[in-house]
Amino acid sequence: MDMKYYSTNQQSPAVDFREATINGQAPDKGLYFPEKIPVIDPDLISNMEKYSDEEIASRVIMPYTGESIPGDKLMQIVKETISFPIPLIRLDESVFSLELFHGPTLAFKDIGARFMSRCLGYFVKDVDKKVTVLVATSGDTGGAVASGFYNVDGIEVVILYPSGKVSPVQEKQLTTLGKNIHALEIEGTFDDCQQMVKNAFIDDEIKKKRFLTSANSINVARWLPQQFYYFFAYKQWPDKNNPPVISVPSGNFGNICAGLLAFHSGLPVQHFIAACNSNDVIPEFMRTQKFESKKAVPTLSNAMDVGNPSNFIRILEIFNHQFPALEKMMSAVSISDVETIAAISDLYHRYNYIPDPHGAVGWLALKRWLEDHEGTKGIFLETAHPVKFPEAVEKYTGKKVDMPITVQEIMKSEKISIKMKPACEELKNYLL
């Protein structure tokens, strides 16, 4: 049975995985969502240690890709997607860190970006127009997408990022590859970048000239494979009779949404915590049941500086818009920069563990939950390598972060970017 995807705005026809991946967003500006959530074979859950990571991942994703990708091709894509370790690190008897930063750009987004780039490369072999992946980034997305698509035949990548608002390592990852990767440095905020991208997608003149697709976390091929590491975490989880509470640093809400989807498919999880920084739209929603977007404020955990989290609608879809069911399974907290700084220092002095600011937010949210719920154990997601945030991390741990060789190389490379005002017309002229 081939999986179909409907638009959350309900005004566009349902499509298969290939079409949803190529379109990125539905024509009615809704997000694609699977018509039914598959149930994972209980045997896979209860005997997870017996299966290889590749086998687990391909069995999790296969119902979603349906007939769009043949089995052997899918296995190859999965192998290339998860070709690096995703270890669960024990800090004490009740707290574990799931390290998602061992991929090529040292951030959790490598998984989604690698999976998506390979799917898209497979799908566009027979498209006659030049395919342009257009993406806005608040930090890590851009680097992961650039690395995932670098040198992929028939695809050009255009990345918009807010000038001066991404870390030095993040900026180098966006701006030094060259070839089919182009970086536009926007003199504005991430929200400006996102607005420019959204407008380009609905502009008929641009669409005539270029075949546009998106690699933001709204794309199903980027969002769905993020389920993989929740399954890998459970595979490594020592106490199978006591499922973990999972704390996810949350900005655009794609990552925690993938976790909730995995849970709905049968993965044992006790509870999810959306660990937000000062951008507290969802913690407020969980308090008031009113969704009000706000202007994003800049924080130490910049990848989570999102004032209008686009994936949250998918979380509501998972729970059929029933608030009591959502509230039972997910809570959301807001952690300030002052608390984040204390958490970075605390993690280092308590466990000799060096987090990045996003991981520190995740840990603090988890720690508070565990203190209130006796006998529970949990996992926080460490979403980026601390080397991406050296100033904050070194200042509050007093320890220099070791720079991986790959980063040493990239820091020596020359930055190439095109400066641009935050105006939709400017992007349009560039694309035409």
Lowest mean pLDDT among 107-111, 124-128, 141-145: 124-128
Summarised one tens digit per residue, pLDDT across range 283-323 is 999 999 999 999 999 999 988 999 999 999 999 999 999 99
User: Does 13 score more than 90 pLDDT?
Assistant: yes
* CATH at residue 385: 3.40.50.1100
Mean pLDDT of 129-134: 86
Mean pLDDT of 188-215: 89
Q: Are 232 and 56 in contact (CB under 8 A)?
A: yes
Distance CA 24, CA 215 (A): 7
Is 40 a member of any domain? no
Is 135 a member of any domain? no
Domains identified in the chain, total number: 1
Is 66 a member of any domain? no
Place of tokens 């993406």: 135
pLDDT at position 138 is 79
User: Does 130 score more than 80 pLDDT?
Assistant: no
Q: With pLDDT > 70 as the criterion, what percentage of the chain qualifies?
A: 100
Structural domain range at position 292: 83-108+223-403
Distance CA 126, CA 122 (A): 9
Is 297 a member of any domain? yes
208 burial class (0-12, 13-18, 19+ CB within 10 angstroms)? exposed
User: Does 100 score more than 90 pLDDT?
Assistant: yes
Distance CA 355, CA 371 (A): 20
27 burial class (0-12, 13-18, 19+ CB within 10 angstroms)? middle
Distance CA 414, CA 398 (A): 29
User: Does 139 score more than 80 pLDDT?
Assistant: no
User: Does 164 score more than 80 pLDDT?
Assistant: yes
Tell which residue, 416, 383, 362, 312, has the closest CA to residue 144.
Answer: 383
User: Does 1 score more than 80 pLDDT?
Assistant: no
Is 312 a member of any domain? yes
Q: Per the structure block, which two tokens stand in for 400?
A: 């220099």
pLDDT at position 215 is 81
Share the mean pLDDT of the chain: 94
pLDDT at position 31 is 96
pLDDT at position 11 is 96
Lowest mean pLDDT among 69-73, 109-113, 218-222, 394-398: 394-398
User: Does 152 score more than 90 pLDDT?
Assistant: no
Q: What is the SS3 assignment for the chain?
A: CCCCEEECCCCCCCECHHHHHHHCCCCCCCCEEECCCCCCCHHHHHCHHHCCHHHHHHHHHHHHHHHHCCHHHHHHHHHHHCCCCCCEEECCCCEEEEECCCCCCCECHHHHHHHHHHHHHHHHHHCCCCEEEEEECCCHHHHHHHHHHCCCCCEEEEEEEECCCCCHHHHHHHHCCCCCEEEEEECCCHHHHHHHHHHHHCCHHHHHHCEEEECCCCCHHHHHHHHHHHHHHHHHCCCCCCCCEEEEECCCCHHHHHHHHHHHCCCCCCEEEEEECCCCHHHHHHHHCCCCCCCCCCCCCHHHCCCCCCCHHHHHHHCCCCHHHHHHHEEEEECCHHHHHHHHHHHHHHHCCCCCHHHHHHHHHHHHHHHHCCCCCEEEEECECHHHCHHHHHHHHCCCCCCCHHHHHHHHCCCCCEEECCCHHHHHHHHC
Identity of residue 359: G
Is 280 a member of any domain? yes
Place of tokens 């809570």: 331
Mean pLDDT of 91-115: 95
Distance CA 109, CA 144 (A): 6
Mean pLDDT of 242-263: 97
pLDDT tier, 422 (very low <50, low <70, confident <90, very high otherwise): very high
User: Does 167 score more than 80 pLDDT?
Assistant: yes
pLDDT at position 177 is 93
Distance CA 65, CA 42 (A): 20
Distance CA 41, CA 423 (A): 49
Identity of residue 244: P
Summarised one tens digit per residue, pLDDT across range 367-395 is 999 999 999 999 999 999 998 888 888 88
Distance CA 80, CA 297 (A): 36
User: Does 110 score more than 80 pLDDT?
Assistant: yes
pLDDT at position 153 is 82
Is 360 a member of any domain? yes
User: Does 209 score more than 90 pLDDT?
Assistant: no
Mean pLDDT of 254-278: 98
pLDDT at position 336 is 97
Tell me how far the alpha carbon of residue 221 is from its chain's centroid: 11
Is 329 a member of any domain? yes
Summarised one tens digit per residue, pLDDT across range 60-86 is 999 999 999 999 999 999 999 999 999
Start-to-end C-alpha separation, the chain:
41
Distance CA 104, CA 124 (A): 24
Q: Tally Cβ neighbours within 10 Å of residue 316.
A: 17
pLDDT at position 24 is 86
